[in-house]
């Protein structure tokens, strides 16, 4: 049975990574609707509704841990009620960028940065996005630096940050390599691998 699943995410990079993660299971999943939150606020505000909607159709929600101490603290803050069986709620530790950095070989080839400069345990980075941006400063590929690095002190990321990293996910990022370095990514994969669709009763 091909399982329908709707996606809920913070940004375009998260969506692209979720799609590649689901595609790794062949024809187990097919994607229905996508809901972009432009940050975690939208997800936190609407998660009760997504939980109820998951009675009929599975929802795969991905959010960043950000400043929470651990995933259980975020879950306790956001979810004061039982999750429906069809709600797939996963947390990237600390941000989805840590999942991207976890493929050290792929990120090195994409950026031209030596592997020795890329963190060996990206889930332990306090600010993976900042770590990624700082790493790009070492890249010798001008077009990557122009797209990803902020153009002024008021910006955190460059003008084509999402688009360039989406290319990385599409052409360089290897899920199997990344899971070896990111435990939160590995747990998300395992959850999806073991997931069983609960068909609503009529």
Q: What is the dihedral of CA 166, 167, 170, 172, to 10 degrees?
A: -120
Burial (CB count <10 Å: 0-12, 13-18, 19+), residue 159: middle
Which residue, 148, 142, 144, is CA-closest to 161? 148
Determine the pLDDT at residue 26.
97
Peptide bond just before 118 cis, omega within 30 deg? no
Eight-state DSSP code of residue 132: H
> In the prediction, which pLDDT does 38 show?
86
Q: What confidence score (pLDDT) does residue 200 get?
A: 85
Residues of the chain below pLDDT 50: none
Q: What is d(CA 52, CA 64) in angstroms, rounded to the nearest whole number?
A: 22
pLDDT at 15: 97
How many CA atoms, within 13 angstroms, populate the side-chain half-sphere of residue 113? Answer: 24
pLDDT tens by residue, 114-171: 999 999 999 999 999 999 999 999 999 999 999 999 999 899 999 999 999 999 999 9
**Which percentage of the chain shows pLDDT scores above 70?**
100
- Show the tokens assigned to 48: 């009760």
């Amino acid at each position: 049975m091909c399982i329908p699943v709707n996606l809920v995410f913070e940004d375009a990079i998260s969506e692209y990574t979720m799609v590649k993660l689901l595609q790794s299971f062949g024809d187990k999943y097919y994607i229905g609707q996508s809901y972009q939150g432009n940050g975690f606020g939208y997800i936190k505000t609407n998660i009760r509704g997504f939980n109820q909607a998951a009675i009929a159709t599975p929802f795969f929600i991905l959010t960043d841990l950000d400043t929470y101490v651990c995933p259980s603290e975020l879950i306790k803050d956001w979810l004061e009620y039982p999750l429906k069986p069809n709600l797939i709620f996963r947390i990237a530790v600390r941000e989805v960028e840590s999942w991207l950095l976890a493929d050290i070989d792929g990120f090195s080839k994409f950026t031209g940065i030596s592997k020795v400069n890329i963190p060996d345990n990206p889930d332990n980075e306090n600010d993976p996005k900042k770590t990624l941006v700082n790493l790009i400063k070492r890249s010798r590929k001008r077009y990557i630096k122009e797209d990803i690095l902020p153009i002024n002190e008021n910006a955190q990321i460059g003008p084509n940050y999402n688009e360039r990293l989406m290319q990385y996910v599409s052409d360089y990022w290897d899920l199997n390599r990344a899971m070896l370095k990111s435990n939160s990514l590995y747990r998300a994969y395992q959850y999806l691998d073991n997931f069983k669709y609960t068909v609503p009763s009529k």
